[in-house]
Amino acid sequence: MTVIFKDGAFHNEDWTRVDGEDAIPAHGAVLVGLDRFLDTPDVLLSRAANWGVVIAPGDEVERLAPYLADIPLVAVAFPSFADGRGFSAARVLREHLSFDGDIRATGNYILDQVPMARRCGVTSFEISKPEVLKALKAGEWPEVTKYLQPVGTVDEIPVGTRPWVRVSLREVREAAE
């Protein structure tokens, strides 16, 4: 079982990751790599059970564009907290390709990266680090309040005399109340 954090709640899910040329199980939730999916997309597109595609660092996420309307989950791999390519993949999926399904962060990210990943379009998190699980269960959320790079997933406005500094419009509304 894998612990998933989504919409402020924890869920246990059981996913089978299919690597290489291994057979895709007939039942249960399945994750396959991008190349495996693109080799035989009909195998998964006709599937009724939960399934998803894993985007590894360096994968060209744009190759999924023709299939995104039918893909329920894209898992974006974060192999290390120092590898930020997962943030870029999530932004491309959400902002440029208009993917409205679940984007799940997997791998070795740290708690400080969770709000940033949400900002980039990630909607769920596979929790593999016990310290991240513990912190989220304790209600920790290390939100950054000002950003230097705008994203298309959050309504923002410029702050002060520096138009490149952004603040969430949600925070402006909350401060006014």
Answer yes or no: do 105 and 169 share one domain: no
Tell me the one-letter amino acid at 77. Answer: A
Q: Which two tokens stand for residue 7?
A: 């919409």
Answer yes or no: do 68 and 136 share one domain: yes
Each residue of 28-51: pLDDT tens digit?
A: 899 999 999 999 898 888 886 789
Assess contact for 59 and 79: CB atoms under 8 A.
Answer: no
Q: Which two tokens stand for residue 21?
A: 């040329």
- pLDDT above 70: residue 174: no
User: What is the rounded distance in angstroms from the CA atom of residue 124 to the CA atom of residue 70?
Assistant: 18
- pLDDT of the residue at 170: 59
- pLDDT above 60: residue 173: no
Q: Which two tokens stand for residue 129?
A: 């680090």
Each residue of 68-87: pLDDT tens digit?
A: 999 999 999 999 989 999 99
Where is average pLDDT lowest: 57-61, 137-141, 154-158? 154-158
CATH number for position 22 = 3.20.20.70
- pLDDT above 50: residue 176: no
The DSSP secondary structure of 114-151, one letter per residue, reads: HHHHHHTT--EEEE--HHHHHHHHTT------EESS--
Answer yes or no: do 156 and 102 share one domain: no
Domain of residue 151: give its range: 145-177
Rounded CA Rg of the chain? 17
Each residue of 89-121: pLDDT tens digit?
A: 999 999 999 999 999 999 999 999 999 899 899
Q: How many domains does the chain have?
A: 2
79: left (phi over 0), alpha (psi -120 to 50) or beta: alpha
Where is average pLDDT lowest: 47-51, 54-58, 63-67, 107-111? 47-51
Answer yes or no: do 89 and 122 share one domain: yes
Give the residue-averaged pLDDT of 150-171: 68
- pLDDT of the residue at 35: 94
Q: Calculate the alpha carbon distances from 89 to 7, 55, 64, 107, 116 in Å.
A: 21, 8, 11, 14, 13
Judged by DSSP in three states, 177 sits in coil
Answer yes or no: do 162 and 104 share one domain: no
Answer yes or no: do 91 and 10 share one domain: yes
- pLDDT of the residue at 164: 67
Answer yes or no: do 40 and 123 share one domain: yes
